[in-house]
């Protein structure tokens, strides 16, 4: 929906110039900032659904908060993206790590290759054989993930830094929204109190004239 021409507040049919008490809403942010920067394999529908969920919770009051929400969505999306990368590395590089472990346990190269292919294809019998070999060596299947991590520690370290930065930025946006709304609430409270006091003074003055 194009909201560039939507106004809130009274306007004259003859004069379309917004009055001072009229709020002119900004155009849709996608037209201003462009579409989200998604990577191959990331679903735009998933992003938009997530964006709508955040909008429903935050309920932005103006364009500033809408910008913050967009930033919040992108940082939260980054957090999920980096966590996914970590799990993908563990999954994709598991056969490589398994091969290095089996090399120390299974002497037959052909058997190692068969077991690794069975692991990758989800062959239950081969997986059980691998577990038995690992157990015999005093290891569990978690050794595969550990080996993967050690073999790619620099990649994990880089992703972890990116993850922490995204989490920090996300939390900063949440705090900014909270602080702005607290400040606005205080301003509205002060303005309301001032109006109430002024009205009370007028009533008191009128009453004193009648006495």
Dump pLDDT digits (tens) for 63-106. Answer: 888 888 888 899 999 999 999 999 999 999 999 999 999 999 99
- Kind plus residue range of the DSSP H or E element containing 91: helix 63-92
pLDDT for res 152? 93
Mean pLDDT, to the nearest integer, of 25-37? 69
Dihedral through CA 155, CA 160, CA 162, CA 165, nearest 10?
-160
So where are the chain's domains?
A: 39-92+152-211, 94-137
Mean pLDDT, to the nearest integer, of 161-187? 85
pLDDT for res 181? 82
Residues 29, 42: contact at Cβ < 8 Å?
no
- Rounded percentage of the chain residues whose pLDDT exceeds 90: 48
Reply yes or no on whether the pLDDT at 21 is more than 50. no
**Intra-chain end-to-end CA distance of the chain, in Å:** 60
Q: What angle do CA 43, 96, 86 make, to 5 degrees?
A: 35
Lowest-confidence range among 8-12, 36-40, 118-122, 207-211? 8-12
**Per-residue model confidence as pLDDT tens digits over 126-171:** 999 999 999 999 999 999 999 999 999 999 999 999 999 999 998 9
Reply yes or no on whether the pLDDT at 46 is more than 80. yes
Lowest-confidence range among 23-37, 111-125, 167-181? 23-37
Mean pLDDT, to the nearest integer, of 48-55? 89
Residues 115, 102: contact at Cβ < 8 Å?
yes
Reply yes or no on whether the pLDDT at 54 is more than 80. yes
Reply yes or no on whether the pLDDT at 201 is more than 60. no
Q: What angle do CA 46, 91, 96 make, to 5 degrees?
A: 150
Measure the CA–CA gap between 7 and 115, rounded to whole angstroms. Answer: 67
Distance of CA 115 to the CA centre of its chain: 39
Residue among 124, 104, 105, 102 nearest 113 (CA): 102
Using 50, 70 and 90 to split pLDDT, how confident is the model at 115?
A: very high
Classify the C-alpha dihedral 126-132-134-136 as positive or negative. negative
Average pLDDT across the chain, whole number: 79
Using 50, 70 and 90 to split pLDDT, how confident is the model at 28?
A: low
- 7 beta partners: 24
Measure the CA–CA gap between 105 and 174, rounded to whole angstroms. Answer: 51
Contacts of 66 (CB under 8 A, 6+ apart): 26, 29, 60
Q: Considering just the CA atoms, what is the radius of gyration of the chain in Å?
A: 30
């Amino acid at each position: 929906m194009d909201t560039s021409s939507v106004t809130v507040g009274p306007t004259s049919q003859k004069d379309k110039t917004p009055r001072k008490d009229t709020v002119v809403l900004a155009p849709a942010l996608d037209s201003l900032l462009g579409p989200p920067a998604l990577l191959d394999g990331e679903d735009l529908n998933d992003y938009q659904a997530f964006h709508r969920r955040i909008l429903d919770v935050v309920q932005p009051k103006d364009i500033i908060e809408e910008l913050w929400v967009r930033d919040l969505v992108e940082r939260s999306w980054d957090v999920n993206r980096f966590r996914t990368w970590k799990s993908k590395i563990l999954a994709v590089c598991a056969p490589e790590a398994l091969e290095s472990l089996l090399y120390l346990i299974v002497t037959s190269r052909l058997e190692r290759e068969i077991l690794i292919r069975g692991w990758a294809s989800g062959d239950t019998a081969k997986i059980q054989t691998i577990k038995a070999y690992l157990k015999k060596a005093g290891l569990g299947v978690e050794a595969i993930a550990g080996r993967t991590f050690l073999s790619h520690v620099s990649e994990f370290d880089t992703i972890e830094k990116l993850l922490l930065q995204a989490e920090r930025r996300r939390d900063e946006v949440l705090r900014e929204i909270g602080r702005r709304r607290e400040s606005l609430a205080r301003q509205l409270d002060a303005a309301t109190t001032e109006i109430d006091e002024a009205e009370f003074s007028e009533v008191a003055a009128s009453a004193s004239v009648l006495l």
